[in-house]
Amino acid sequence: VKIVQFLSQNGAPFTVNIYIYMLSNYPVDFAFFDSVDSVIDNNDYTGFDMKMDTLVSALKAVGFQNLPIVVGGVGWPTDRDMYDSPAYAQRFYRGLLKKLAENQGTPLRPGHIEAYLFSLIDEDAKSIAAGNFERHWGIFSYDGKPKFPVDLSGKGQRRSLVAAKNVKYLPRKWCVLSPHAKNLSLLSDNMNYACVLISMLETKLLMPSICNIRLRTRELSAVIFKAFR
C-alpha cells in the first residue's frame, strides 16, 4: 500500500507486466483476443482483460481506483515451449494491437491503454533460468529478421516488417571444455544445473534426454553446454 501511495503522491503510474501465456488451468485459446472461450461475468473477458482488471480491482480495494496503469511488458514468445510459435505470437499481437489501436480498454478500465511490447528483438544471451523460452520473445530474431507479418498500427493489414541490413556474423563455434582445464571441481554442478533446465524443455516436447547420452565427462559436457547455450 505504501508503494501505491508513493506513486499516487508523485503522479506516477503503476507499471505491470502482463504475460498471458504463462497462465494455467484454463484453455490456451482464452489467451487470445479472438477467442471463443471468453469468460462472461456481466462482461466478456479475455486473458488480458482478466489480468488487467485484477489489478484495477486490487487498486480500488486500497482506495486508489483512479491510479494510472501502464503495461510495461506484454508479448508472446515464439520458441522453446509447448505453445510458443510464430503463429501463436502473430495471433496474439494481431489481437493486442487492434485492442490498443481502438482504445477498447477493459471492462473495469475502458479507454486508452499505454502498453509496451516485449520484445522487439530476441536476446540470445539472456538467462534461461525461468525457462528456455526467455531468449525468444522478439518480434525480430537476434539478427534482425522479422518472424511474422504484423501491422503495428493495429489496423489488421498484412504488412511485413523490414529486416536489418548488412548484419555481420561471428564464425560458428562449438562450446567445448578446454583440454588444459585443471580444476574440474565445479564441472559436475554446472552440468547438473544445465541439465535441469534442458530437461524441462525435453519433458514438454517429449524428447529423449541428451543428458543421459553415454559419453566421457569431457565430451558429454560439450553436448550439454551447447544445448544449454
pLDDT, greater one: 55 or 181: 55
pLDDT tens by residue, 10-46: 999 999 999 987 656 667 888 899 876 555 566 678 8
Q: 180 or 208, which is more confident?
A: 180
Instruction: Domain count for the chain, please give it.
Output: 2
What's the whole-number mean pLDDT along residues 118-144? 90
Residues 121 and 194 in one domain: no
Are 124 and 200 in the same domain?
Answer: no
Same-domain check for residues 39 and 118: yes
Residue 204 near residue 198 (C-beta atoms within 8 A): no
192 and 128 share one domain: no
Same domain, 192 and 121: no
Domain assignment of residue 145, yes or no: no
Q: Is residue 149 part of a domain?
A: no
Domain presence at residue 142? no
Cα 52 from Cα 49, distance rounded (Å): 5
Residues 121 and 140 sit within 8 Å (Cβ to Cβ) = yes
The pTM (predicted TM-score) of the whole model is: 0.79
**Residues 90 and 14 placed together within one structural domain of the fold:** yes
Instruction: With respect to residue 162, please indicate whether it lies within any of the assigned structural domains.
Output: no
For the stretch 44-99, pLDDT in tens is: 788 899 999 999 999 999 999 999 999 999 999 999 788 889 999 999 999 999 99
Please name every residue paired with 44 in a beta bridge, in sequence order, or none if there are none: 40
pLDDT at 22: 65
Query: Are 118 and 195 contained in the same domain?
Result: no
> 85 and 193: one domain?
no
| Euclidean distance between CA atoms 78 and 84, whole angstroms | 4
Q: Between residues 6 and 216, which one has the greater pLDDT?
A: 6
Query: What phi and psi, each to the nearest 5 degrees, are found at residue 18?
Result: -120, 110
Report if residue 22 sits inside a domain. yes
Query: 218: domain range?
Result: 187-228
- Report the C-alpha gap between 60 and 18 in whole angstroms: 19
The mean pLDDT of the chain is: 87
What number of other Cβ atoms are within 10 A of residue 76's Cβ?
26
pLDDT band at 209 (very low <50, low <70, confident <90, very high): confident
* Confidence class for position 172, pLDDT limits 50, 70, 90: confident
Domain annotation covers residue 23: yes
- Residue 151 grid cell: 501491422
- Residue 152 has a pLDDT of 94
Q: Do 27 and 107 reside in the same domain of the chain?
A: yes
Domain boundary among 72, 106, 135: 135
Contact 77, 22 (CB under 8 A): no
Cβ contact 157:101 at 8 Å: no
Contact 140, 164 (CB under 8 A): yes
Report yes or no: 175 and 222 within 8 Å, Cβ to Cβ.
Answer: yes
- Is 14 a domain residue? yes
* Domain match, 210 and 128 both: no
CATH classification at residue 131: 3.20.20.80
Q: How many residues does the chain have?
A: 229
